[in-house]
Amino acid sequence: MNLLLLAIAFRAWSGSALSAYLRIMAAVAAFSLEVQLATWFHAGNLRSIRLLNLAGAVAGVLWHSYRRSTAGRADLQEQPPRSRDATIAAARLPPFIAIAALALTIGLLASSRPVMGADPYHLHRVDQITSLGTLAYDPAALDIKINALAGVYELLLADLRIPGMSTALVRFHGVFGLGLYLLVIAVVNTWIGVRRRWLLIALLVVPVVFHQLVLVKNDLFGALPAVVALVWVVTRGPDMSARETATAAALAGFAVGIKISSAPVALVIGGFVVLDHRRDWRLVAPTLAAGIAGAFAGGLLFTLVENELVYGGALQPYMSLGNRYEHATDAVTGLGRFAISLLDLGTVSPRLWPGRGGWGSTFGLPMIWAVMVLALHWREVQVRRALVAAGVCFVGFAASYPDADIAHRMVIGPGLLLVAIALGCVDRDERRRPALRIALIPVLALSALQIGRSTAAYLTGG
């Protein structure tokens, strides 16, 4: 309800796909900051904040109505051309039949199965936020993850309700998640420029993304701003304005605020901005400030402060969870496991290292196809930038997280970057395009079958 009111205030439906996505993220950031401040100052809860946001929605409607009426009274004159990102253009999405099939699958699973989290603490945090009305920690919580590893996404789930309803629509989180994911695909396509919409189906059949839309987990939500920021910086590079670099940095910072494992994404964004604009250091300060602001909006400062107050150390909860390498040789082994798992469809690494657990899936055949395409186009600057960006993120993650080979869900951002850039290459390549497109067809079919098999397993409890 709160997010809906803020979306009205920001007119989230207006403008291009990029504009709409940024307005939605601005609404999410504003809501997050409101609840963080309300928690710290004991100045309200989800219900009372609703009144503030209702006033904001009314003020936003009145303001935009006033601007329209003022523009209507102005003398008619030719308006200066607007930038590409500001124009209202029809978004290029995957074919409707593919979207409908995935939406129906997710809706079927949502309506026929009990609400389940990939990890129980996510739903526990939703219940905690609903009962308290704030993001306050519960020192009595037995699982430290409930407090330290869950925040903004769970806040949105607690707020996810139709006006007048008292029950949150957590059951249909995947349907709402799919809508946001489709908007991100439209945003990304403004930069990669895929004209043949059927190629974009590759982004709908990535197995690890599908599981995020079935089980409650915050990985995809935290990855989407990272995807936008990475593709933006990789494709636009030196042509980005100060406003663009700052916005991309804010998105990267927000991703880090949601999940600290996205820290390599922020390093990549910062590194590219410095490299691309090293002659204009005036960009660095606002970009850095925007990145920090995005991290604050994502709850990073809030989490660190609450960790200090409740657990006696800003990083204490993370240290107590363990699950980290003890020796450098272990990190090297982890890098090898992750490299294999990117291409083995989850079949080789478990046999080489038995006893590996986890949930979800890998990037699957779309990643194998993307790597093949990028290898053929490695001379292109955009491709090299994408490989560097994803490589830094992958190495940073795999070298620090022992379960990296079974947790592709935590690097969805850089993974989707590679698939997206590969799709752009195929659409532009006149010489090899037919062969690469033909190679993509069985990838789409087999990936769809893999998702169908997973759907059957969910329905039967397998």
pLDDT by 10s per residue, the chain, length 462: 899 999 999 888 888 999 999 999 999 999 999 999 999 999 889 989 999 999 989 998 888 777 777 755 554 444 444 444 433 345 689 999 999 999 999 999 999 998 888 888 999 999 999 999 999 999 988 889 999 998 999 999 999 876 655 566 788 899 999 999 999 999 999 999 999 999 999 999 999 999 999 999 999 999 999 999 999 999 999 999 999 999 999 999 999 999 988 999 999 999 999 999 987 878 888 999 999 999 999 999 999 999 999 999 998 888 887 777 878 888 888 898 899 888 888 778 777 777 665 666 889 999 999 999 999 999 999 999 999 999 999 999 999 888 888 889 999 999 999 999 999 999 988 888 889 999 999 999 999 999 999 999 999 876
Position 81 scores a pLDDT of 44
Q: How far is CA 285 from CA 239, 245, 248, 289, 427, in A?
A: 18, 11, 14, 6, 37
Position 448 scores a pLDDT of 96
**Domain boundary assignment for the chain:** 2-62+91-452
